[in-house]
Chain A
Amino acid sequence: MPMFLLLSGIAALLLLAILAVVFSGSRFATRLVYGAGLLLSLELLVVGGLHLLCDAPPLALSLPLGLPWIGAHFRLDALSAFFVVIVNLGAAAACLYGLGYGQHAEEPSRVRPFVPAFIAGMNLVLLTADAFTFLLSWEFMSLVSWALVVVEHRDPRTVRAGYTYALMASLGTFALLLAFGLLAGPNGSYGFAAMRAAQVSPSVGALVLGLVVIGAGSKAGLVPLHVWLPEAHPAAPSHVSALMSGVMTKVAVYAVIRIVFDLLGTPHWWWGIVLLVLGGASALMGVLYALFESDQKRVLAYSSIENIGFIFVALGLALAFRADGFQAAAALALTAALFHAFNHAILKELQFFGAGAVQHATGTRDMERLGGLIHRMPVTAFCILIGCVGIAALPPLNAFASEWLIFQAILLSPSLPQWGLKLLVPAVGALLALAVTLAAACFVRFFGMSFLGRPRSEAASCAEETDGFSLAAMLLLAGLAVVGGLLPGVVIDALGPISTSLVGRHMPVQASLPWLSIVPIAASRSSYNGLLVFIFIAASSGIVASAIHVFASRRIRRAPIWDCGYADTNPALQYSASSFSEPIRRVFGPILFLARTEVEMPPVGSVAPAKFKVHLEDLIWQRLYVPVTGIVMTIADRLNVFQFLTIRRYLSLVFLALVSLLLVLALWS
């Protein structure tokens, strides 16, 4: 029954996509599409959530679709159900937001049909249980999200982003195809059940791991496969950006967990290293990129890369612990990864919604042209503030709980027997700690430059608060972030069945603990209590605020600001986004970005302004992608000759190919 409900919900979403095309001219199209999308994703959310919370046994279903001799297999287990919850929670919020935001899009009819199709595609990926249907749904998801990226196709940057995305998505699917081919083995058993039962040799397993990291990692935005993400995610309309950054990256995480933890069999200890190193690099590079960026949505996209890095580090730890037989530690790391995926989905959607509201109100995403919005858009500012506090991993919000769990898992690493891991894991932990602090700086900058200070442009000074639906979506997510931070034990307990099925154990049951505490391993080691922290923070800040109010507010005098002798203080003289990140750029820029600064002083006696320019280079793009592109272009140039041969030469080529194949055959035996 749940399976039927889920699949019919997906079918209804696809139908809705068609209806959106049929009724594209109607005045009620936006209401219809997003309203129905909201209801359908709520239905999927409830079904998936009940399956997860009731700890129901896995359900399987085969349909005679797709390839005739394979059919389409679907399966709903705890892992799928959890990701169904993430996807549909995000989708429901995005649809609610879309009810308001979709009204004032430039060309809404280009967006509407693809949103339900995109949600349906992501859900399908989670439910499939054979390689063919999985890849088909995966490609469908990529294709539809590509269509959403290139909605504003008149902007050449969007077209470029779409092209990069299409390339990287094809690369990813190709890698996944090869990975499934290896997993299926010589008998070509493409069902997940058969793959689970089969044991692959260590070398094949390592190859599959590498291919999955390329295939799913490129979708998730793992460094160095992330290049498309900061281009493509911001190019889409904001509710779609939220879906792509908050939810689609989680579908990629699901693919990694499904293949590496579920299908691939016994791991080797060094497999964890791959995920640890890539995850650590993603976390650090992502947040550094985010710090030097002034486009709001790009900052958020880079921050997604950082958080995906965190999730991958936790997955790598889980893999290493599982390979060495530390089941409790593996359960902790895996639960932390899943919990963080859940939290990041909520927070990232919230922030993208806020950025969308700001973009609609001011017409710009450039932080250097915003400022002072807290007075014009107080509710949006409050929601984004919650999102920023959450994503910067400050207690008592949800992301703190999950990142704290990740660090707890890192602290267990000295018990690992391999010296490589013993040395690497603390190093990666240090990287993560650095990334967390930089993320805090990044979001202080994000919030401060956009919402505090004085407006830096005309548009920012006359912004209006956004509509009710958008606010409702943001308040809902902000509420969830707070609740998740106060009651982390509920989520952790819900994740128990997943880690039991994947690593053999689950974390200690948290519901029985007093005062809503959570303990990762045992209460004697460490514990965290979100409620107490919240009460402490609320009480202490309340006392301070009231003290200030009592002792200081009465003494407020309104007087002209001292203007340092300048009569007119231009808003451009405020602290700016790039000046905020200047100290950090001084530290990391010269090495990681080959940063150069140029100061051009006017000649003595001239009144022309001095000019200050900063050049940053994306080393990954320069050192990795540019050479690869060059090689491909060179080969293509060389092979171009074959377009212009005579008929006889083509025949000769065929002939030579045939003869050489026969020669191989003759020499082989």
Chain B
Amino acid sequence: MHGIAFDVAHLLAGCLVLVSFLMLYQDRLYSLLNTYALHATVLFLSVAWQAYIQNAPDLYVTAGIALVFKAIIIPVALHRMIVKLGIHREIETVVGTGPTMLAGMGLVGLSLVVMLHAAAGANLMAREDLAFALAVILLGLLIMVTRRNAVSQVVGFMSLENGLILAAAGAKGMPLVVEMSVAFSILIAFIVIGIFLFRIRERFDTVDLQALDRFRGERQ
């Protein structure tokens, strides 16, 4: 278990966290999408490595889904959508980049502390893997929370889902059916959100979620 297998798995999972940080400070939509594609690619590598060391052929399918859908189809589709909608390409953040990055670091520390305690019984690799996966999930949530733009929230959601896949791949033995259903649910979520984006755009000439809130007549 120790040795090269562990090191590579550790490296790839660490890279995924790093790419999540990269996503955290992107302030252009295009570069956010590109970083997301990179995120998915790293996920692909990580899952494929897990498939190799665990000798689990069905994980290759998961890896393939990650590569085809998440690294290629979805980013390309979102690109085209942005062009078609003529969306404002700057991302409005709620909090400044600096505090966000600091919060992200805090979250990574928290997830490491929690997971190393909580999964003390599991083997070393699964433990590290789970810790990184939790960090990726929390960072994805942080992206969703700190952005106003709907597209970047979609991206945050999908990076969160990447964290889930990473966790599942690390904990041996998630059945293929579950993975398939997760993948398809993500796809459907993507489609639905895409349609919604078009609809919102048609109606309000913007995809800024605050317009929606104004329309609901909220008291703020």
Contacts and interface: CB of A to CB of B under 8 A. Distances in A.
Interface of A: 644-648, 651-652, 654-655, 658-659, 662-663, 665-666, 669
Contacts of A659: 107, 110, 138
B107 A646 contact: no
Given A647-B212, A658-B138, A665-B117, 15 more contacts: A646-B209, A647-B209, A648-B94, A648-B145, A648-B209, A652-B145, A654-B141, A655-B142, A655-B144, A658-B141, A659-B110, A659-B138, A662-B111, A666-B117, A669-B118
A667 to B, nearest CB: 9
B144 A651 contact: yes
A228 to B, nearest CB: 37
9 contacts: A647-B213, A648-B209, A651-B141, A655-B141, A655-B144, A662-B114, A665-B117, A665-B118, A669-B117
Given A644-B218, A644-B219, A646-B213, A651 B110 contact: no
Contacts of B105: none
Nearest to B144: A651
A644 B153 CA distance: 20
Contact of B110 (A646, A647, A663): A663
B79 interface: no
Contact of A666 (B94, B114, B138, B218): B114
Interface string B23-48: 00000000000000000000000000
A649 to B, nearest CB: 9
Contacts of A645: 218
A669 B220 CA distance: 40
Contacts of B213: 646-647
A655 B209 contact: no
A648 B209 CA distance: 8
Residue in A655, A665, A666, A669 whose Cβ sees the most chain B Cβ within 10 Å = A666
Interface in B139-176: 141-142, 144-145, 148, 153
Contact of B218 (A646, A651, A654, A655): A646
Interface residue SS majority, chain B: helix
A648 B152 CA distance: 12
B115 to A, nearest CB: 9
Interface string B91-119: 00010000000000001001101100110
Interface centre among B145, B210, B219 (most CB of A within 10 A): B145
Nearest to B214: A646
Contacts of A647: 209, 212-213
Interface of B: 94, 107, 110-111, 113-114, 117-118, 138, 141-142, 144-145, 148, 153, 209-210, 212-213, 218-220
A665 B111 CA distance: 10
Contacts of A646: 209-210, 213, 218, 220
Contacts of A652: 145
Contacts of A651: 141, 144-145
Contacts of B141: 651, 654-655, 658
Sort A-B residue pairs by CB-CB distance and give the 10 closest, nearest first. A646-B213, A666-B113, A669-B117, A652-B145, A655-B141, A666-B114, A662-B114, A655-B145, A665-B114, A644-B218
Contacts of B212: 647
Nearest to A641: B219
Given A648-B94, A648-B145, A651-B145, A666 B110 contact: yes
Contacts of B220: 646
A655 B138 CA distance: 8
Nearest to B94: A648
Nearest to B150: A647
B139 to A, nearest CB: 11
Nearest to B212: A647
Nearest to B107: A659
A666 B212 CA distance: 38
A652 B95 CA distance: 12
A105 to B, nearest CB: 49
B193 to A, nearest CB: 12
A655 B94 CA distance: 15
Contacts of B94: 648
Contacts of A658: 138, 141
Contacts of B118: 665, 669
A647 B213 CA distance: 8
A556 B44 CA distance: 115
Contacts of B117: 665-666, 669
A654 B157 CA distance: 14
B131 to A, nearest CB: 12
Nearest to A645: B218
A645 B209 CA distance: 12
A662 to B, nearest CB: 5
B106 to A, nearest CB: 9
Contacts of A663: 110
B140 to A, nearest CB: 10
A54 to B, nearest CB: 58
A662 B110 contact: yes
Contacts of A669: 117-118
Contacts of B153: 648
B34 to A, nearest CB: 24
A644 B214 CA distance: 11
A664 to B, nearest CB: 10
Nearest to A661: B114
Nearest to A669: B117
A644 B219 CA distance: 7
Residue from B111, B114, B142, B153 with most neighbouring chain A CB atoms (10 Å): B114
Contacts of B210: 646
A662 B107 CA distance: 10
A665 B110 CA distance: 10
B173 to A, nearest CB: 25
A645 B110 CA distance: 28
A655 B100 CA distance: 14
A647 B147 CA distance: 11
B116 to A, nearest CB: 10
Contacts of B209: 646-648
Contacts of A662: 110-111, 114
A80 to B, nearest CB: 47
A651 B118 CA distance: 25
Contacts of B107: 659
A666 B141 CA distance: 19
A663 B220 CA distance: 30
A403 B142 CA distance: 70
B72 to A, nearest CB: 28
A652 B145 CA distance: 5
Nearest to B217: A644
A665 B118 CA distance: 8
A659 to B, nearest CB: 7
Contacts of B218: 644-646
Nearest to B210: A646
Contacts of B113: 666
